[in-house]
């Protein structure tokens, strides 16, 4: 059954309306934020989740050092601004199109100067406007956040100086003074109509709302709000100043249709200046007022209250469609399934490789069922059921050290034991947990009793990565960035280049798994949300990782790691070009239809990955699979190469799945 035939129907809408977004702002000096609310109830929000947590052991595996987070806020791991919160010193962040950093005596904003070399597209920190506040010794505290903005309080010791607002998509930074302030720039301001302007190393900045400006200094009365903004190349501060309005909160709603999803990102306080990234297929944006060069490409500038865009909706499926295979292919697959079942290794006990193994088995189960390999199907069903039952025992961590989950009360999330790749620091949770949810969604699709048995923990796992609201137990959409339309993988983002994500395809897999689990669960609201997230993450994966429009000087067809401030042709685990492509392809699930969005771009990526060598080295199994998406005789040619990769199969892949995938192209 395809995603378009689910109980969601032909058209549905779900709103996360931003009342909680405003709550993040209400938290600015006024205690804990008000919980957010959704228009469609979900099993992974509110009192239901709080009740489930009562049965799970509580344990903090690692102190994440959230030293710059106000009391009462849910720790914002895996966000574009996480580097402001965690670690000994605040990191630079990139709300787009500007960069921002806290300085010893104030703060700095800049327009990244974008260039490319052979392996990176880099947004250099140059031409920045440094704002010095009363010669104070400045520290920072995050005091509120919502879906696309963050409030940062600047302090001198224990005394509040000002509240700053950073907004994704905005070239502005707004400051509300908490006492009478003088803020100095590095150069002299000049009058520009009703505003003021300065030029720093060729970058033009405007200032609106100041009580008075004298030379390099702006005077701001307590309670007043001023806004700095970076003008686009060729832009006029005088013309743009009247379009600048401080954003007070943000929120998001979405709508699902048969073929696409529409996202509306709302900016309260507008209309104001906002930018659209290359993947934003805007609806009713109106006149454009220039453009910025970013590491993601050109970002157009508009004066709007909302950014509204459409993204293609891709089917979310539990299995490959093998109905068109002939009898010979079905027989060969049945024999291969039996061999793969017999040769399957013991399941790993960590959350990444363990979850990946469960997903691999779920795919094998679907193939076995489809080709009539009943004995193999029964074997897989039994061991997959046993493994998921073990992992989802609510109090399992009281009895064993692995294959269980605990709830981290300090950092507000589920941590699987044993952790891997820094998952105890909240790295990669969506990668890991997407595999669990996908496997469970497949196994439980027609088994309500098993669904009920597994749901007390799997609902918490789902809430960890995709809570539709911030209830205090979990943050909203933990890794998922609506504006950027992709996820962030680092829990604390301890990097000068911002947060990052490597495996765009595992990001997509997370929301496919979430949708299948929600479907098995009968949770219409969560399934709607997952379909929306899946569409946006697919669009982001195509635009910025797998089939990006890059720039002269960057010599590659794909991107390995996307950061807030740069893009790299590499991986965390291998410099091999085959690995760089593979990590944007695996696990190539039945819900990864977007991989074939542009068949004409596939051959160049495959050629680059192989580097003139034959199939057979590590990671080329995924390259071979991807090659089948080129159209023409690509799939038939790939089938002939299966033997070459047999001895180098990834732990998330079986020969049965590889052959079935190729035969169904």
Query: Apex CA 225: angle with CA 475 and CA 177, to 5°?
Result: 80
Q: For the domain that residue 142 is a member of, what is the CATH number? A: 2.70.98
Q: Domain for residue 279, yes or no? A: no
Q: Phi first, then psi: what are they for 560, rounded to 5°?
A: -90, -45
Q: For the domain that residue 553 is a member of, what is the CATH number? A: 1.50.10
Q: Domain for residue 653, yes or no? A: yes
Dihedral angle sign, alpha carbons of residues 535, 541, 543, 544: positive
Q: Domain for residue 223, yes or no? A: yes
Identify the top-confidence range among 7-11, 47-51, 440-444: 440-444
540 shares its domain with 431:
yes
Among candidate residues 249, 280, 305, the one where a domain is terminated: 249
- Span 78-90, average pLDDT: 97
Q: Say which residue the tokens 């299948």 belong to.
A: 516
- H, E, C per residue of 563-580: ECCEEECCCCCCCCHHHH
DSSP annotation of 4: G
Decide: pTM greater than 0.85. Answer: yes
Q: 135: pLDDT confidence band, cut at 50, 70 and 90?
A: confident
pLDDT at 613: 97
Q: Domain for residue 374, yes or no? A: yes
480 shares its domain with 578:
yes
- Span 253-269, average pLDDT: 97
Residue 22, pLDDT > 80, answer no
- pLDDT tens, 393-435? 999 999 999 999 999 999 999 999 999 999 999 999 999 999 9
pLDDT at 9: 35
Question: For a pLDDT cut of 70, what percent of the chain falls above it?
Answer: 94
360 shares its domain with 245:
no
Select from 194, 206, 207, 196 the least CA-distant residue to 232: 206
238 shares its domain with 367:
no
Select from 83, 127, 86, 88 the least CA-distant residue to 101: 83
- Span 147-176, average pLDDT: 97
355 shares its domain with 222:
no
Among candidate residues 225, 249, 273, the one where a domain is terminated: 249
Q: Can you give the residue range of the structural domain that contains 637?
A: 327-663
Give the end-to-end CA distance of the chain in Å, rounded to a whole number.
Answer: 19
Question: For a pLDDT cut of 90, what percent of the chain falls above it?
Answer: 91
235 shares its domain with 348:
no
Helices (H), 404-553: 429-443, 448-466, 504-521, 524-541
Spatial separation of the C-alpha atoms in residues 173 and 167, rounded to whole Å: 8
Q: Domain for residue 152, yes or no? A: yes
- Span 68-91, average pLDDT: 98
Spatial separation of the C-alpha atoms in residues 504 and 37, rounded to whole Å: 29
Q: 45: pLDDT confidence band, cut at 50, 70 and 90?
A: confident
Spatial separation of the C-alpha atoms in residues 662 and 656, rounded to whole Å: 10
Q: Domain for residue 295, yes or no? A: no
Spatial separation of the C-alpha atoms in residues 276 and 315, rounded to whole Å: 26
Dihedral angle sign, alpha carbons of residues 265, 267, 271, 275: negative
239 shares its domain with 332:
no
Residue 5, pLDDT > 50, answer no
Q: What's the distance, CA 45 to chain centroid?
A: 20
- Span 209-226, average pLDDT: 96
Q: Domain for residue 582, yes or no? A: yes
- Span 637-646, average pLDDT: 97
Q: How many domains does the structure of the chain reveal?
A: 2
242 shares its domain with 377:
no
- Span 190-207, average pLDDT: 97
536 shares its domain with 421:
yes
- Span 11-35, average pLDDT: 37
pLDDT at 168: 98
Among candidate residues 196, 231, 249, the one where a domain is terminated: 249
pLDDT at 615: 97
76 shares its domain with 210:
yes
- pLDDT tens, 490-543? 999 999 999 999 999 999 999 999 999 999 999 999 999 999 999 999 999 999
Residue 114, pLDDT > 80, answer yes
Q: Phi first, then psi: what are they for 504, rounded to 5°?
A: -60, -35
Rounded to the nearest integer, the mean pLDDT of the chain is: 93
Q: Domain for residue 280, yes or no? A: no
119 shares its domain with 236:
yes
| Strand pairing class (486-487; 500-501) | unpaired
95 shares its domain with 235:
yes
pLDDT at 40: 58
Q: Say which residue the tokens 């685990």 belong to.
A: 573
Q: Phi first, then psi: what are they for 630, rounded to 5°?
A: -75, -10
């Amino acid at each position: 059954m395809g995603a378009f035939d689910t109980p969601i129907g032909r058209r549905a809408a779900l709103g996360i309306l931003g009342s909680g977004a405003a709550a993040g702002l209400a938290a600015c000096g006024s205690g804990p934020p008000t919980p957010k609310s959704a228009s469609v109830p979900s099993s992974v929000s509110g009192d239901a989740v709080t009740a489930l947590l009562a049965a799970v052991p509580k344990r903090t595996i690692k102190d994440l050092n959230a030293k710059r987070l106000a009391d009462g806020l849910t720790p914002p791991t895996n966000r574009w601004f996480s580097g402001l919160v965690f670690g000994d010193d605040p990191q630079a962040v990139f709300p787009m199109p500007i960069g921002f950093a806290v300085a010893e005596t104030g703060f700095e904003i800049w327009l990244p100067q974008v260039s490319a070399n052979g392996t990176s597209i880099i947004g250099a920190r140059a031409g920045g406007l440094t704002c010095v506040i009363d010669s104070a010794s400045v520290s920072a505290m995050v005091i509120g956040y919502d879906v696309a903005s963050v409030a940062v309080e600047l302090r001198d010791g224990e005394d509040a100086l000002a509240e700053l607002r950073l907004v994704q998509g905005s070239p502005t930074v707004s400051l509300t003074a908490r006492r009478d302030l003088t803020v100095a720039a590095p150069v002299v301001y000049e009058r520009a109509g009703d505003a003021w302007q300065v030029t720093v190393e060729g970058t033009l900045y405007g200032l609106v709302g100041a009580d008075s400006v004298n030379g390099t200094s702006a005077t701001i009365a307590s309670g007043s709000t001023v806004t700095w903004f970076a003008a686009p190349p060729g832009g006029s501060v005088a013309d743009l100043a009247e379009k600048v309005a401080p954003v007070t909160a943000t929120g998001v709603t979405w709508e699902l249709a048969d073929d696409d999803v529409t996202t509306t990102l709302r900016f309260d306080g507008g209309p104001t200046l906002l930018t659209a990234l290359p993947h934003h297929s805007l609806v009713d944006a109106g006149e454009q007022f220039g453009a910025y060069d970013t590491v993601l490409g050109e970002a157009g500038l508009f004066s709007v209250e909302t950014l509204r865009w459409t993204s293609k909706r891709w089917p979310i499926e539990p299995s490959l469609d093998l109905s068109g295979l002939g009898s010979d292919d079905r027989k060969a697959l049945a024999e291969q399934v039996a061999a793969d079942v017999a040769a399957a290794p013991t399941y790993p006990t960590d959350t990444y490789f363990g979850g990946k193994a469960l997903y691999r088995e779920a795919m094998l189960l679907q193939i076995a069922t489809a080709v009539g390999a009943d004995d193999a199907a029964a074997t897989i069903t039994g061991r997959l059921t046993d493994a998921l039952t073990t992992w989802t025992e609510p109090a399992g961590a009281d009895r064993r050290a692995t294959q269980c989950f605990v709830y981290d009360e300090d950092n507000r999330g589920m941590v699987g034991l044993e952790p891997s790749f820094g998952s105890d620091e909240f790295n990669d949770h969506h990668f890991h947990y997407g595999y669990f949810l996908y496997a469970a969604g497949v196994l439980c699709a027609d088994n309500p009793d098993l669904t009920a048995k597994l749901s007390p923990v799997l609902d918490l796992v789902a809430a960890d990565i995709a809570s539709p609201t911030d209830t205090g137990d979990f943050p909203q959409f933990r890794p998922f960035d609506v504006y950027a339309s992709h996820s962030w993988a680092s829990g604390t983002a301890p990097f000068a280049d911002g947060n990052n994500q490597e495996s765009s395809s595992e990001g997509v897999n997370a929301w496919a798994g979430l949708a299948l689990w929600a479907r098995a669960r009968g949770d219409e609201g969560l399934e709607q949300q997952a379909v929306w997230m899946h569409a946006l993450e697919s669009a982001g994966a195509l635009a910025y990782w797998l089939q990006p429009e890059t720039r002269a000087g960057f010599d590659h067809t794909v991107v390995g790691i996307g950061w807030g401030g740069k893009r790299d042709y590499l991986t965390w685990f291998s410099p091999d070009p085959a690995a760089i492509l593979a990590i944007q392809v695996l696990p190539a699930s039945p819900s990864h239809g977007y991989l074939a969005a542009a068949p004409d771009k596939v051959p160049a990526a495959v050629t680059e990955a192989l580097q003139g060598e034959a199939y057979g080295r590590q990671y080329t199994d995924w390259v071979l699979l991807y090659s089948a998406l080129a159209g023409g005789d690509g799939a038939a040619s790939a089938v002939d190469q299966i033997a070459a990769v047999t001895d180098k199969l990834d732990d998330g892949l079986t020969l049965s799945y590889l052959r079935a995938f190729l035969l169904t192209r």
